[in-house]
């Protein structure tokens, strides 16, 4: 069977990237974390003083989009496809709370989404890709071979992100993380363009009480069944 395009969507911290990375490794595919692209654009806007009173100055950001170089490179040490912004590896910087608290404002700008979706579609041209995000199954790859919609409660997701941040140089309290996740859930699912929603043909995978390996096994079983059908 030809290589597949696999779309993984869901709310923040449902474990999309973890699952996508494990799946890509198992299948020998490329993993693209589309959220990292919106985060890199947000980092660019922060570093270039494009926020005023907590609001993004769109007229400054939009003309800059096409001059940004955003690409991924595989880090052979940790097996992670890491994001570069204008030649700098920003994989860690983009996970800071400051970026997390502003990224939804950036991700709802039409020009930003068009720019990111174009890049994402180009990355999928050769198939053999696992992409995770919010609108992958609905907008980026509506014809994806497999669409997974990951789901877990806000409390479970906040605890996961909190524990992840504790391991970095930019930790935050559980309450801060929970508040941020709840705010992003609301903005991501109610924004005008490409809001987060389950594609009609996506399969829901509940993983609140599953480990990353158990989630992987569940999805690999689905993929094997799919391959047997073809």
Per CB under 6 A, residues contacting ligand DC are: 12, 34-35, 38-39, 103-104, 107, 133-136, 184, 188
CB of 42 to ligand DC, least distance (A): 8
Q: How far is the CB of 229 from ligand DC (least distance, A)?
A: 28
Q: Which is closer to ligand DC, CB of 35 or CB of 124?
A: 35
Euclidean distance between CA atoms 90 and 94, whole angstroms: 6
Q: Provide, rounded to whole angstroms, the least separation between the CB of residue 217 and ligand DC.
A: 23
With respect to ligand DC, which residue has the nearer C-beta, 89 or 221?
89
Buried b (16+ CB within 10 A) or exposed e, 111-134: ebbebbbebbeebbeeeebbbbbb
C-beta closer to ligand DC: residue 147 or 184: 184
- Residue spans of alpha helices (H) in 57-168: 58-61, 97-107, 110-123, 154-166
CA 134/CA 141 separation, integer angstroms: 11
Instruction: State the Cα–Cα distance between residues 91 and 88, nearest whole angstrom.
Output: 9
Q: Which helix (H) or strand (E) holds 72?
A: strand 70-75
State in angstroms the smallest separation of the CB of 103 from ligand DC.
4
Q: Find, among 110, 109, 88, 108, the residue nearest to 43 by Cα.
A: 88
- DSSP label at 3? P
Report, in Å, the least distance between residue 13 CB and ligand DC. Answer: 7
Residue 199 CB, shortest distance to ligand DC, in Å, is: 13
DSSP codes of every residue in 163-217: HHHHTSSS---HHHHHHHHHHHHHHHHH-SSS-----TTPEEEE-TT--HHHHHH
Q: Name which of 91 and 135 has its Cβ closer to ligand DC.
A: 135
Please say which residue, 25 or 96, places its beta carbon nearer to ligand DC: 96
Of 2 and 172, the one with the shorter C-beta distance to ligand DC is 172
Output the smallest distance, CB 184 to ligand DC, in A. 4
Degrees, nearest 5: CA angle 196-65-91 = 65
Residue number, 94 or 216, with CB nearest to ligand DC: 94
């Amino acid at each position: 069977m030809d290589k597949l395009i696999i779309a993984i969507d869901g709310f923040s911290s449902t474990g999309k990237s973890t699952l996508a990375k494990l799946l890509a490794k198992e299948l020998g595919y490329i993993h693209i974390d589309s959220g990292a692209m919106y985060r890199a654009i947000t980092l660019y806007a922060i570093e270039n003083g494009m926020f005023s009173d907590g609001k993004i100055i769109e007229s400054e950001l939009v003309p800059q989009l096409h001059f940004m170089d955003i690409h991924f490179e595989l880090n052979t040490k940790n097996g992670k496809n890491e994001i570069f912004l204008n030649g700098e590896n920003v994989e860690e910087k983009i996970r800071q709370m400051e970026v997390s608290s502003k990224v939804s404002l950036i991700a709802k700008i039409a020009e930003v989404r068009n720019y990111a979706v174009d890049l994402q579609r180009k990355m999928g041209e050769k198939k053999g890709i696992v992409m995770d995000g919010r609108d992958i199954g609905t907008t980026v790859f509506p014809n994806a071979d497999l669409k997974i919609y990951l789901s877990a409660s806000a409390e479970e997701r906040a605890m996961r992100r909190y524990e992840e941040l504790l391991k970095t140089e930019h930790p935050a309290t559980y309450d801060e993380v929970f508040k941020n996740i709840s705010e992003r859930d609301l903005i991501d699912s109610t924004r005008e363009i490409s809001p987060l929603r389950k594609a009609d043909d996506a399969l829901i995978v509940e993983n609140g009480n599953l480990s990353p390996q158990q989630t992987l096994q569940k999805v690999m079983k689905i993929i094997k069944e799919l391959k047997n059908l073809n």
